[in-house]
């Protein structure tokens, strides 16, 4: 069995992971471990951009207030201020690396998105994440001190507690499945950063890539870390609805530039958002997603329409070239007709609890990006604050690691699979995967009830037992590992939803329709502490 020693292990290769690797590389031996390739992950799919106060008519106070309003009273003020005030420097760092942001009049072009009171979204047309990820990937591959391990799937974290060692529990490494050799590799390091992203694949319909299976959240929970606010899963209001399309997102910026939500002609063809909120299409995502869900159920619709055709073709080609081209490839001409859209699972607002340095409950383990719960997003994430959070907390985590004297890691045992065999019924894994995602969509989606949550909890308990039996007796595969993590994350989401006896932000319950006071996060404590 192979083993590796590094100063820092980074699990995940999105913006959070690559930003951390680049900032640590001058002084540390860094391993970037990713289960697909560097370019895969949610960061590259981000269309809208990165929020930052850069205009003269904008202010930190306004950005903070917009974040607090979207977060429905659950944002942590210290975290929000920390992120907002560090945003301009984060944009500056990306520009130094050569990210090709859209320009206007010699400066950055700023657009506006739902929930924002000003134009403050820095973007690269309508493919910001792809532009940022491409730039950072190229720099990472050319940077000495960074070793990339692609097609390596995290199995579990290695802690001193699991090794039976005395003293304060700490993370000392991890096990990962190398798909090329179908063997388990041991990685040892005094510091590990989880940058594994969210868990959108726990739902049947999601904008997330196949990699978003909650690996870091589940692994940290098993290692003894608390998680917070897992009930708040953001459903993006406008996923493209098309029989040949799996997970394409229609950017928030389309509504920011005047896009209107309409009922299909069969239901009257009228605009409906002003009836739901005074901010209409520019309301925060949770409000818009619930409004669309309401109208679809009221009229028995499969989707609604998003119309931007009143803008000129030249404007659409300039601002939304990728959306225009993608829709055209499916036979939808957005310069002449509306886009069919439907809400789809998009962002995990909760995650592993961290402080302002990205530190978790477990010494030697940090978490950055969507995998983490920092308190920034509260009950609903404000548009374009996600990539920003990745950048600001990657820098903060690296600052902590650089200033910390690394503890010496003990010798680590190799993975023992001598008593397991090959699965004789692998089809069970795919069936369980499908069942989990379907009942999470039906019972733990945009609108919830106590009865639906009880049904989901019952099914999760059965699945957990079955999956654990597979994990204990058969050789691990990526599908099995991802399913194991997804069912754990589903359990955390349902537990958190059952604990919140109110409706707030992304959590709407028919049994608890009012917002309660005072506002408080939902914190789950693992049995292993």
Instruction: List the catalytic residues.
Output: 285
Q: Do 18 and 32 meet the contact criterion of CB atoms below 8 Å apart?
A: yes
Residue 327 tokens read as 């829709």
Continuous H helices in 145-284: 215-222, 252-256
Strand partners, 306: 261, 339
DSSP string, 286-297: HHHHHHHHHHHH
Q: Cα–chain-centroid distance for residue 194? A: 12
- Residue 419: strand, helix, or coil: coil
Q: Cβ neighbours of residue 449 under 8 Å, at least 6 residues apart?
A: 509, 510, 511
Neighbours of 355 (CB within 10 A): 15
- CA atoms of 62 and 333, how far apart (whole Å): 37
Which contiguous run of DSSP H or E holds residue 237?
A: strand 233-240
- Measured between its terminal Cα atoms, the distance across the chain in Å is 30
User: Hunting for tokens 């990339």 — which residue is that?
Assistant: 148
- CA atoms of 118 and 341, how far apart (whole Å): 25
Residue 481 tokens read as 């590992």
Q: Are strands 110-111 and 227-228 parallel, antiparallel or unpaired?
A: unpaired
Continuous H helices in 159-284: 215-222, 252-256
- Residue 91: strand, helix, or coil: helix
Q: Which of 256, 270, 346 is nearest to 304 (CA)?
A: 270
- CA atoms of 148 and 141, how far apart (whole Å): 8
Q: Cβ neighbours of residue 271 under 8 Å, at least 6 residues apart?
A: 260, 261, 262
Residue 510 tokens read as 């028919």
- CA atoms of 187 and 173, how far apart (whole Å): 5
């Amino acid at each position: 069995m192979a083993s590796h020693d590094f100063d820092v292990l980074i699990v995940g290769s999105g913006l959070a992971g690559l930003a951390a690797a680049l900032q640590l590389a001058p002084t540390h031996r860094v391993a970037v471990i990713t289960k697909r390739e560097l370019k895969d992950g949610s960061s590259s799919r981000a269309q809208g951009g990165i929020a930052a106060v850069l205009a003269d008519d904008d202010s930190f106070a306004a950005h903070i207030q917009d974040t607090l309003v979207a977060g429905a009273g659950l944002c942590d003020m210290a975290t929000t201020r920390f992120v907002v005030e560090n945003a301009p420097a984060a944009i500056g760092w990306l520009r130094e690396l050569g990210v090709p942001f859209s320009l206007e009049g010699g400066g950055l072009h700023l657009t506006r998105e739902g929930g924002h009171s000003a134009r403050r979204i820095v973007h690269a047309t309508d493919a910001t994440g792809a532009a940022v990820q491409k730039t950072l990937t190229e720099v990472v591959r050319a940077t000495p001190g960074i070793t990339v391990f692609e097609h390596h799937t995290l199995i579990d974290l290695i802690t001193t507690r699991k090794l039976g060692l005395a003293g304060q529990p700490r993370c000392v490494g991890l096990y990962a499945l190398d798909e090329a050799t179908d063997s388990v590799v041991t990685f040892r390091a005094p510091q590990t950063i989880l940058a594994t992203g969210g868990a959108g694949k726990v739902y049947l319909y999601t904008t997330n890539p196949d990699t978003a299976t909650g690996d870091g959240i589940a692994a940290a929970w098993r290692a003894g870390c608390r998680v917070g606010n897992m009930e708040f899963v953001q459903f993006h209001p406008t996923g493209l609805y098309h029989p040949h399309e799996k997970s394409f997102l229609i950017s928030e910026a389309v509504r920011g530039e005047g896009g209107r939500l309409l009922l299909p002609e069969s239901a009257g063809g009228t605009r409906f958002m002003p009836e739901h909120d005074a901010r209409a299409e520019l309301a925060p995502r949770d409000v818009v997603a619930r409004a669309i869900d309401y109208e679809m159920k009221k009229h028995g619709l499969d989707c609604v329409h998003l119309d931007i055709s009143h803008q000129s073709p030249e404007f659409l080609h300039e601002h939304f070239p990728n959306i225009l081209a993608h829709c055209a490839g499916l036979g939808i001409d957005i310069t002449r007709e509306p886009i069919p859209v439907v809400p789809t699972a998009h962002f995990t607002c909760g995650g592993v609890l961290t402080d302002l340095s990205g530190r978790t409950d477990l010494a030697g383990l940090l978490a950055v990006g969507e995998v983490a719960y920092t308190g920034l997003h509260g009950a609903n994430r404000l548009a374009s604050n996600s990539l920003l959070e990745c950048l600001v907390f990657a820098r903060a985590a690296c600052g902590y690691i650089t200033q910390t004297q690394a503890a010496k890691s003990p010798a680590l045992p190799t993975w023992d699979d001598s008593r397991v065999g090959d699965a004789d019924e692998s089809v069970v894994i795919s069936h369980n995967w499908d069942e989990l995602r379907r009942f999470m969509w039906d019972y733990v989606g945009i609108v919830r009830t106590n009865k639906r949550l009880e049904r989901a909890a019952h099914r999760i308990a059965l699945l957990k037992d079955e999956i654990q039996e597979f994990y204990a007796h058969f050789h691990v595969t990526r599908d099995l590992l991802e399913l194991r993590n997804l069912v754990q994350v589903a359990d955390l989401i349902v537990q958190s939803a059952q604990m919140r006896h109110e409706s707030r932000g992304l959590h709407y319950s028919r049994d608890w329709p009012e917002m309660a006071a005072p506002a408080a996060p939902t914190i789950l404590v693992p049995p292993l502490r």
